[in-house]
Structure 1
Amino acid sequence: MDLTFAWLLHKQELALRELVAPSTKHFSLAQTNELEDATEFIQPESLVLTVGIAFKNHPADLGRYIDHLADAGAVAVGFGTGLTFDAVPEQVLDAARRRGIGVFEVPRRIPFISIVTAIHQEQRRRTQVEQQQLIDAQEHLTRSAIPGSLDMLASAAAELLDASVRITGPGAAPVAVAESAGYSAAVERGERMRSSTQRLVSGPQRPYSLQIRSHRRPPAALVRHCAGLADMLLARPAELRTARNELNAFALSARFGLGDSTALLPRGFDTPIDDSGLTRPVVITADRPRALSQARSALDRAAEAHGHFLYATALDPVSMVVLVHPEHSGADLLDSLGPAAQRVRVAVGRPVPAAELAEPHIRALKARCAVLALGGNALPGSSRASWLTEPAVAEALVAQRRELFGVLEAEDAARNTDYARTLSVFLQHGGQLAHTADALGVHRHTVRSRMARIQKLCGIDLSDPATFAEAFFAATAEV
């Protein structure tokens, strides 16, 4: 990356003094050299640093030395004084003026390494800035393409590149066109324009191209990124458009009350419903939103691997309902969860008519999850705790929950504590202080002090197994 000599002179800590102005404003690197003839080692557009030690006994040859540097492509010399020569020799100055090479005096107190380091640091800083600017520009282009509009992509590209951007189709017909204000002004000033064309890989039957015209050289990486985004929008798979069209049709049908209002999902779409209209509901709960999100991602990956979509919706931040095909067993679903199964609770329901699936089915499955430990599951046919969903039992548990948690919720509201949630998590983890602390993200001593306060407020002793069980089942009740 090129730097300017003006920047170098403004680095006051380097204390450089310009004796002969260089014929060019820029240089690309700095290198040291103390050989009499280092032509083969000199890099083009370089600033050569030397103290002239090789010419201590014959300074008259310094003019020839400067000629060698100029022939090799050097654009300036940084001559160190106070070591070999007290001042920059006239032979150096005369030859430099004749060859158009700049000469800068470097005081003895300034080591050459400090100059080289300053240049490297500045080049690295500017490279990082350019890279970040490119990343930001690519992200901006990507965001403009997300809605699927070529016009928005072209407009964003025109502003970023300060250019005219055209996406053309068969017969060079314009598909999207945009121009920046800077480009229009440059055209009026009669500035020279640069043009580039990128063919879009849309297939032989879709001869599209991206044409960019600007008075500046656009970053090649940004042009390629823009072309890739345009190509993806043009070559969008037909099945995605079909799916989007069906969703649109379903949304309109639901809005205007058209079609079968009892249908849970649009038929004709890839739904988890068999020919008899049955679907299988599953409720998954967790202690933390992140664990639930990981479970959802695992199910989505498994569905994608089998060419299906995922049908899931959140019930609250730590629970969701999933619909799967009736033939999809509970064991299949647990396999799909993989390691994420250890961080959630899963209740798999029996196949039910999709038209009859309602909130009570989901509530019953959620209640079954509530009595499970993390990593536990309740599969169809399991009789574990099925009595919890009996109306009389459920009503009694709701009353007990209100009595027990009502005191804590009032305390939480009045004093901004977290007693109700602490008790719920404590019960779910079998009264284990360490596990409860991990789930809440607090210290074990904090949990111990909270539980002591909770038992005092509620007038209960959770060390008694019967009291603990009563509180546990009350905590699972759906109010």
Structure 2
Amino acid sequence: MRHHATGCYYARTPNELLCRRISRTLVGMPISIAELIRDPELSLRLRAGHGQSLNARIEWAAATEMAVPKPFLTGGELVLTTGMRLRSVRACRNFVRSVAEAGSHGIGFGSGFTHEHIPEALLDEARRAELPVIEVPVRIPFALIAKKVANANAAEKVEQVEAQYRRRERFVELLLSDGGLEAMLAALGRETGAHVAVSVNGELISGSLEIEDPKIESWDALPIALGPAGQATLHASRPRTDDELINTSRTLVGLHLAQDARRRRDERVQAGQVLDDLIAGRLEADVVVPRLESIGLQSSGTYRMLVVTGTGPRRTDLAAMPLPSSLHGSVATVLDDRLTVLLDIHDVTPQRAAEALVAATRAAGIPAKVGIGGPYPGTAALRWSWFEALDALNRLERDRVIGEAPRLSIASLILGASNAPIAELAEELLGPLEVHDKEHGTSLVETLDAFLANSGASNDVATALGTHRNTVRYRIDQIAKITGLDPRITADAVQLSLARTARRLTER
């Protein structure tokens, strides 16, 4: 459709002008439930609602498992849920009323998790409230719907920019094409005779300043209004022509980057809701992995949480700040006004990642500190990395900005609180081993007990188990991979030993 708009830009015949007007009408249309239902990629099914309620603009998509989500909604959103806490008629009715009172425009119910089908009580209440309800198949992640909504609304805002800068519409089209910012800057360079580049928070994101061109006399660093995402600069060499076009392009680049920032904030806030549910223990065991995968994590991966907390009046702007280039592949969320980066242990080291985050926050004008949590698999156990990162922040000395606390162990929890969730932590550490033994007929738990009882002496462990020491080594590698804790490391061995002790005590 956008190709049609581009093709009609220089239209002169009546048919071509009509094509251009139609294209202008269609491009950037606000997203609605009716539009989502028509999307073949989503396979959504309308279960309640009719008329104009299906055409109301959806501002954003909010995933929640709260029984009464109204305090966390802003109105105009599509509320996505699997109904984890909606197990009674009363709960279903209260949920719908809460969503309707918040001014939301509909409910997307994920079937196949807690409920095979949408509860009739929820549908009945939704019809009374004239609130549309769509059924989301189990194979469709909520993140895909949220992305559709965010992208549609972002496209609409860009069309408003095009109306204001009509004589430079070709630049807007380039900015929105597959070439994006690179294509626009290339065209800007050709038309002005300048070399151009863009940096955000002191880091180049497009173009280069290291150019061997004897014609270059100097560089101008032109600030770009970027808002909460930080500081951006358009770098343009001299000599050049058409400074007006350079200044117009600054505005377009700023709007483009600001849209990216808003979309980034929305996506991180939604991912943060998943993290919040995980940390609070609100996720049932069978939905933990799908929910984590919906924000980009893998159950086979091992991650650390780096929690960034800002200070000063702009601390909430961390939510929109772009990650340093060294962390572009990492998942980022926002929780309690903190930016949380989930770092794959095979990527950059946590210390270097923390240093890059501190440098980025300083460049953005947001003083911040970083707490580093320990590595855990992409399962329910990952939440302990959050507590470790917070512990690291609490332990920071006044003149330090990066901290990495020792792993939270059952022993430290016992000492720290009388109501410590000892059994829960033991379950999260040992449950995956027990499941593996049951499903694959292995003896990992038995091997762990023998390994701990014999202080890690492979020959003694092999003798105790009646197997070869190479088999012992293989099993220990499996234990380390599954739990994220290596019994050959003293601190991890203590953690596992305490978990086994807690397990035995709580099974009595």
Tell me if both proteins adopt one fold, taking TM over 0.5 as the criterion: no
Q: Which has the larger radius of gyration?
A: 1
TM-score (structure 2 length as normaliser):
0.27
